[in-house]
Amino acid sequence: MRRALRSANPYLYVAASHERFPLNEPFHRYCKWYELPVDAEGFLQAKEREIREDLAHKAFSLEASPHLSLSVVELYERFHARFILLVRTPHEVVSSFLKKGFLQATLCGARSPSGSQLLKNASSDVHSQFLVDPQRSDALLHTPWGPEKPRPVRISFLGCLDPKNRRGFLSSLRPLFRNPDMYWHEYTDSAEAGVTAQEYLKLLSDSDFTLCPPGYSLMTHRPLEALLRAAIPIMNEGELCLYGIELKDKVNCVAVKNHRWQDVV
């Protein structure tokens, strides 16, 4: 059977998903990392439901998720699961987290101060500022946005062209943003030219729709930030289920089918 599967289309036999339960797996990882006295039964029962749903129509259930890295023992003992372990280059992971403001790190023997340096590290990543700065978080969550007020920007994109898989299709969309009510602002990891947190929030508040493409991971800050400012996120159809909220095409978001972003713009 395995030989036949290798020669056939894998999509016919494999139910594949990516981080499909954003709360369950990270909570179990958190408990494991801090050695909290919380049993794994709730985590395992949720996993069992997911696996049974997959196996009801496919031969294999496959999930790709870094959140499961500390759950290997429990998953093996309960389901006799098999694992493919991928390890990222450590310095790239740390650099990425530092840039996003997630870390107070020791670099070259000097420990960064707790408050101001963390905010400084996050300055190049506008999304992280809402996590580390209470005033900016409050502006995102609580500033009134006026539901009846007309918005001057019909559709917007403000973001990084990296990684490479994002750069390709964004480059094909750029020429479509040629009308006065369309806003486009791009930068790269090597040539940062972003905007301030205040400018970013104003753009979301001024936009009817905003592009929310995946970046280095499928889940990003942007759809939630857009919804908090009542800008309708445009995102890949297969990513609507990742956020744990009721995202529905043509209700509170626009779903891009088959990665055909040009059709939506």
Average pLDDT of every residue of the chain: 82
Averaged pLDDT, 93-97: 68
What pLDDT was estimated at residue 76? 92
Label the pairing between strands 207-211 and 153-160.
parallel
CA gap 99, 121 in Å, rounded: 6
SS3 260: coil
What pLDDT was estimated at residue 109? 40
What residue segments make up the domains of the chain, in order of their start? 2-79, 90-137, 142-264
CA gap 72, 74 in Å, rounded: 6
| CATH class in words for 142-264 | alpha beta
Pair of tokens at residue 126 = 């506008």
What pLDDT was estimated at residue 4? 41
**What single-letter amino acid sits at 85?**
L
What pLDDT was estimated at residue 90? 66
Averaged pLDDT, 220-243: 91
Q: With a cut of 70, say whether residue 63 has pLDDT above it.
A: yes
Burial class (CB in 10 A: 0-12, 13-18, 19+), 69: middle
CA 217 from chain centre, in angstroms, equals 5
> Can you give the C-alpha Rg of the chain in angstroms?
21
Q: Which helix (H) or strand (E) holds 18?
A: strand 14-18
Pair of tokens at residue 48 = 């069992």
Q: With a cut of 60, say whether residue 111 has pLDDT above it.
A: no
Q: With a cut of 80, say whether residue 6 has pLDDT above it.
A: no
Half-sphere exposure of residue 174: CA atoms within 13 angstroms, side-chain side: 14
CA gap 253, 245 in Å, rounded: 12
Are 123 and 99 within 8 A, CB to CB?
Answer: no
Residue 229, number of CB atoms within 10 A of its CB: 20
